[in-house]
Amino acid sequence: MSQGNTAVTDQVSAIDPEKLEACTLLEVLNRISGKWAIGILLEASQGPVRFTELERSVAGISRRMLTLTLRNLERDGLLERTVYPTVPPRVEYEATPMARELYGTLSGLVDWAQRHREAIAVAREVYDAQ
């Protein structure tokens, strides 16, 4: 990994791999954080869903945020959008294989959260007590 002395060509490999990792990680996080992305991805992972179905099943989401979040996920290739040219219009969204794969890797985080949920709550109470 570090053969770095060809002078010109290693501008990229000169980046601290840990910094790169943190940066890459941040990109993923930005993609799936936000209040709605995960909920939408969850629904769209079980099969094609329509706009109005999502509006109902993702509790509390507004039409605007649903549209915006769908567009972002579609743009990143995490959601596939299919329009059926019927009247009235019918549009379906479905998670791509890439998105399903991502969803799978998130289980570790869910575990962590469940194991430490209590400890975090306690830490907050202690901190807020000051």
Give the residue with the Cβ less far from DNA, 17 or 22: 22
For DNA, which residue of 10, 17, 21, 71 counts as binding (CB under 7 A)? Answer: 71
97: preceding bond cis by omega (within 30 degrees): no
CA 96 to chain centre: 13
Q: Which does 73 bind (CB under 5 to 8 A by kind): its own copies, DNA, none?
A: none
| Nearest in space to 93 (alpha carbons), one of 36, 34, 42 | 42
| Partner from DNA, its own copies, none contacting 32, C-beta within 5 to 8 A by type | its own copies
Binding footprint of its own copies on the chain (CB under 8 A): 18-19, 21-22, 24-30, 32-33, 35, 38-39, 42, 59, 74-77, 98, 101-102, 105-106, 108-114, 116-117, 119-120, 122-124, 127-128
